[in-house]
Each structure stands twice: as C-alpha cells, then as structure tokens.
Amino acid sequence: MSRSPERLAAVALAAALVLYGGPALAEPVPAPVEDLVAPVEDLLAEVESLDGSQSESKRGQTVTVALTSDVLFALDKHTLSAKARQRVAAVAAKIGSGPVSVEGHTDDQGADAYNLALSQRRAQAVQRVLEAALKGRGVAFQAKGFGETKPKLPNQVGGQAIEENRAKNRRVEIIFNVGE
C-alpha cells in the first residue's frame, strides 16, 4: 500500500470529520433576539341591550353607560319617568365612590341652542337621581350637556336622515371608573 502525502491528508480529513463532526452536524447559530415594540391599546368591550335602549362600554377602568333619551324622557322633556328612575338607580348600583360624569346628548333636529339647553337639563335630571341613590358615599358629580355636537352615529348619510342613528344619539351617558 502506498502512503502518499495526498492519501494521508484525505484519511486525516475524513477521520477529523467523523470524530468532530462536519458542517452538516454543526449546531445552527441562533439569530439575534430583538425586542418587539408595539403600541399598547386599551381593550374596549361594549354590550348593548336587546332593544338598543342601553349600552355599556368599558375602556380600561372607565365605564360608560349610555341610556337612550327616548326611554328616559318624553319628547322635548327633561323629567324622568318612574321606570327611567329605576334604570338610573340600577346604574348607580355599579358606581363606587369615585367621580361621576353625566353627559346629555341630542340628535340634529331643532335649533343648536335649544338642543344644548335640553341636553344640559336632561344630564342634570339624571344626576339628581344618581345623587339620591348614592347619598352619603362622597361621590362627586359633573353634569354637562353637549347638544348635537358629539353624535354616537351619523344623523344623516348622503343627505338622508337615519332615524335609528338619531335615536341612539338622543342619550344620556353616565361615566365612572370601576374600583373607585
């Protein structure tokens, strides 16, 4: 058998590959790890009653209960019916001791100044019921009317009035934080 330097080199290389593993047996080098940075968004949950007269949404710790004005008030009125008082009292049961904001809203029918004043009177009427239900708990209230300036849905689409949207825009919202 001849032992040429080339043959010895080939045998040595083969032995080294068997003993130490070759490129096929090498462990892959892991890719560098990068931290993913993405904006954190509050979870928003919204529930609406079957008849659409009440909805409740929660964003973070803030709860907004919207009651349609058609259920709470007669047309162009700000006096709550006995049934409406019961609905507001049911919302009061969910409120802790933190501040409560009561916001009145209208649709786009009627004069701006009239709608603004009506929405303020309706917010104040709901606030009075909440104050009575939460008496002695140290809850701070703020009532504000927005008229038609903050619609929940568009009152009109393509110049056509959408009565279902208008009905949802005529509302009083009770806003409070859970855990307070």
Per-residue pLDDT, 78: 92
Question: Which positions ≥6 away from 171 have C-beta within 8 Å?
Answer: 66, 67, 68, 69, 105, 152
Dihedral of alpha carbons 73, 151, 147, 161, sign: negative
pLDDT digits (tens, 9 = 90+) for 74-122: 888 899 988 889 999 999 999 998 999 999 999 999 999 999 999 999 9
What percent of the chain is predicted at pLDDT more than 90? 55
31: confidence class by pLDDT, cuts 50, 70, 90: confident
What residues pair up with 156 in beta bridges, in sequence order?
161
Out of 3.40.50.2000, 3.30.1330.60, 3.40.190.10, 3.40.718.10, the CATH code matching 44-177 is 3.30.1330.60
pLDDT digits (tens, 9 = 90+) for 2-24: 567 777 677 776 666 666 655 55
